[in-house]
Amino acid sequence: MITPDLESGVKVWHLVKNHEHGDQKEGDRGSKMVSEIYLTRLLATKGTLQKFVDDLFETLFSTVHRGSTLPLAIKYMFDFLDEQADRHGIYDTDVRHTWKSNCLPLRFWVNVIKNPQFVFDIHKSSITDACLSVVAQTFMDSCSTSEHRLGKDSPSNKLLYAKDIPNYKSWVERYYADITRMPAISDQDMNAYLAEQARLHSTEFNMLSALNEIYSYVSKYTLEQEEQARKQRLAYKVEQLISAMSLES
């Protein structure tokens, strides 16, 4: 970018905001011009990627999309959260919405969006990381129940998808509502599903490592005090797990 200069006639600038320029008046003018160029490029890039972002969000927030059915585990987990809310007298829909968002979209999908190298054997450059951070932030805002007040001083990554987020939020609400309306999954069906998944992936994981992770988690809780845990004899199963691990070690 070139701006007039009294001594040499022109002044060359890099396409980065210059916040600490000695000549404040000249610096302000240059920064404004850079901002305009930056915003134009940003909007053009967003337009190029819009269809892919929409397709991603539509796929993640749909119970049936392009031939893929909702995994039983998600329905089972969401029903469990609703049961716990009913049990403890929590009828605020925002609380239930937040529980579901925290245990699936914000715990799992945001990680995958932000870190594709977790799933694919690829290198993530700093530019790609910055772009994915914007998509991930938009994804998180779409799962939020609070209203985001934006102004002229708000960061550009927040402003970029400000008009799209209300639509994405409606997709999230529809997704949760559709799951609620689906037939309940029985414990027997869930156990059969888990057994089938275990069989399909039996050679892909280290069983002892998985048992150690389970033990580290459940050892923090007193299983005898929970009705569902007593019904499924989880305390006895944990004792068996500890014995098995002791023998292996």
Q: State the burial class of residue 234 (Cβ atoms within 10 Å of its Cβ: 0-12, 13-18, 19+).
A: middle
For residues 128 and 20, what is the distance between their CA atoms, to the nearest angstrom? 27
**Of 215 and 112, which is predicted with more confidence?**
112
Which of 4-18, 67-81, 156-170, 196-210 is predicted least confidently? 4-18
Mean pLDDT, the chain, rounded, equals: 81
Q: Give Rg (Cα) of the chain.
A: 26
Give 20's pLDDT tier (boundaries 50, 70, 90).
very low
Q: What is the pLDDT of residue 206?
A: 80
Q: What is the pLDDT of residue 29?
A: 52
For residues 140 and 159, what is the distance between their CA atoms, to the nearest angstrom? 14
Residue 77: how many CA atoms within 13 Å on its side-chain side? 14
Write out the two tokens for 206: 């280290």
Global pTM reads 0.70
For residues 45 and 67, what is the distance between their CA atoms, to the nearest angstrom? 30
Which of 2-11, 60-69, 86-95 is predicted least confidently? 2-11
Q: Report, as an integer, the average pLDDT of 221-230.
A: 70
Q: What is the pLDDT of residue 5?
A: 54
Run of H or E residues at 183: none
Q: What is the pLDDT of residue 16?
A: 52
Share of the chain above pLDDT 70, in %: 79
Closest CA to 10 of 25, 30, 28: 30
Q: What is the pLDDT of residue 3?
A: 53
Q: What is the pLDDT of residue 81?
A: 95
Distant-in-sequence, close-in-space partners of 249: CB < 8 Å, separation ≥ 6 = none
Q: Report, as an integer, the average pLDDT of 206-235.
A: 74
Q: Report, as an integer, the average pLDDT of 12-25.
A: 52
For residues 249 and 246, what is the distance between their CA atoms, to the nearest angstrom? 5
Give 231's pLDDT tier (boundaries 50, 70, 90).
confident
For residues 166 and 179, what is the distance between their CA atoms, to the nearest angstrom? 20
Q: What is the pLDDT of residue 160?
A: 85
Q: What is the pLDDT of residue 244?
A: 73
pLDDT surpassing 70 at residue 99:
yes
Amino acid symbol at 67: G
Q: What is the pLDDT of residue 174?
A: 94
Query: What digits encode the pLDDT tens for the residues 102-126?
Result: 999 999 999 999 999 999 988 888 8
**For residue 5, what are the β-bridge partners?**
9
Q: Report, as an integer, the average pLDDT of 168-192.
A: 94
Strand duo 9-12 + 64-65: pairing: unpaired
